[in-house]
């Protein structure tokens, strides 16, 4: 009996090979960001030997990395010197350019290593991060200040997308006191305080996180309109808010954790108070990209993305009357308002 060998078209073979070796590209980009190459090129083109001296790179090896970065469209070479393209400018630090540098670092360090244990999650249902680091993602951040700062900075950038949707499409009529649950660096709070001149905001997060956020808001001139409430939203929330906001929080938790957070919100809220949930929702047309983010949440922290119906079901279980979802035009962000019954 002769074995039958199936030969696939070259295009399929190339697609599969590109998918499997994608980590090579991400790590070259990560190394460039970590070394500060995009920031060093902001002032203009540099020759490789000069760039190596500025960034502390091996002058013999750096040109080989630069060639790959140019092939990826991040750099351009002219007359033996390399310069940033518009795409590469997005990889600069937030203080000097596009602001994706922090996001690249947090994605390509701990999160990259966690994905190396994807098989653990597939077999056990548990986060791969726990297998890779021997502790949960949140415990790791509490014990590793540089990692926490990179993660918070990366999240701050992505939360701006949520802020844009909320400020454009949500009706804040009658809202005076907002409780920002899981406030992080206070990006949402700052946007709300800037756009809505009569509201006050209470920031809820772990003590070290919310202390830094509160300090930044006071320095920005909002000290008389913001307060901090250090603590865990898994335990208790401050009462008296007109609007309670969960911005990119629930997707970090499985259904049991989400119910616990929503139940704490309901206990703190008076009848008629509103809950605003802002995050990505799984949609049928989302395809593989949405599915990949859902897997990322699972492997990293045991979280999940939900459909509008799934989120509405959780809200109803916890004593809320959910309204319809509002989606951003690009489909990456949505919000649902729910009223405490």
- Give bridge partners of residue 177 from the DSSP assignment: 200
Q: Which helix (H) or strand (E) holds 192?
A: helix 187-195
Class for the domain spanning 158-340: alpha beta
The whole-number average pLDDT for the span 11-15 is 84
Q: Where are the domains of the chain?
A: 10-98, 158-340
* Confidence (pLDDT) at 289: 47
Cα 222 to Cα 60, 153, 263: the distances in Å are 51, 21, 30
The mean per-residue pLDDT over the stretch 122-128 comes to: 96
Lowest mean pLDDT among 239-248, 278-287, 300-309: 278-287
The pLDDT of residue 1: 47
CB 325 within 8 A of CB 281: yes
pLDDT at 4: 55
CB 320 within 8 A of CB 266: yes
Judged against a pLDDT cut of 50, whether residue 198 lies above it is answered with: yes
Q: Given 1.10.3720.10, 3.40.710.10, 1.20.58.100, 1.10.10.10, which CATH number is that of 10-98?
A: 1.10.10.10
| Phi and psi at residue 199, to the nearest 5° | -95, 155
Confidence bin at 288 (pLDDT 50/70/90):
very low
pTM: 0.84
Radius of gyration of the chain (CA): 23
pLDDT tens for each residue of 129-150 = 999 999 999 999 989 888 888 8
pLDDT at 293 over 90: no
């Amino acid at each position: 009996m002769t074995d039958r060998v199936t030969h696939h078209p070259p295009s399929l073979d190339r697609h599969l090979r590109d998918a499997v070796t994608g980590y090579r590209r991400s790590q070259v980009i990560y190394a460039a960001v970590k070394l500060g190459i995009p920031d060093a090129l902001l002032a203009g083109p540099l020759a490789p030997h000069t760039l190596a001296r500025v960034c502390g790179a091996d002058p013999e090896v750096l040109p080989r990395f630069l060639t790959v970065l140019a092939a990826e469209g991040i750099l351009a070479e002219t007359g033996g010197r390399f310069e940033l393209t518009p795409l590469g400018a997005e990889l600069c630090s937030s203080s000097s350019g596009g602001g994706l540098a922090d996001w690249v670092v947090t994605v390509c360090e701990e999160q990259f290593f966690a994905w190396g244990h994807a098989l653990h999650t597939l077999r056990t249902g548990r986060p791969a991060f726990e297998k890779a680091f021997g502790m949960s993602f949140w415990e790791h951040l509490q014990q590793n200040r540089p990692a926490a700062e990179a993660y918070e900075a990366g999240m701050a950038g992505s939360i701006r997308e949520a802020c844009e949707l909320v400020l454009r499409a949500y009706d804040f009529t009658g809202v005076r006191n907002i409780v920002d649950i899981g406030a992080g660096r206070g990006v949402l709070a700052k946007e709300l305080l800037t756009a809505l001149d009569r509201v006050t905001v209470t920031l809820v997060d772990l003590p070290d996180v919310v202390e830094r956020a509160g300090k930044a808001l006071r320095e920005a001139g909002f000290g008389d309109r913001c307060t901090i409430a250090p603590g865990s939203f898994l335990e208790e929330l401050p009462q008296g808010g007109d609007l309670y906001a969960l911005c990119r929080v629930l997707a970090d938790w499985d259904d049991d954790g989400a119910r616990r957070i929503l139940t704490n919100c309901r206990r703190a809220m008076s009848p008629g108070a509103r809950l605003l949930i802002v995050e990505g929702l799984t949609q049928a047309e989302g395809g593989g990209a949405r599915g990949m983010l859902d897997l990322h949440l699972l492997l990293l922290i045991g979280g999940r993305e939900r459909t509008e119906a799934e989120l509405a079901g959780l809200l109803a279980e916890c004593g809320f009357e959910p309204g319809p979802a509002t989606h951003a035009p690009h489909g990456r962000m949505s919000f649902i308002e729910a009223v405490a019954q």
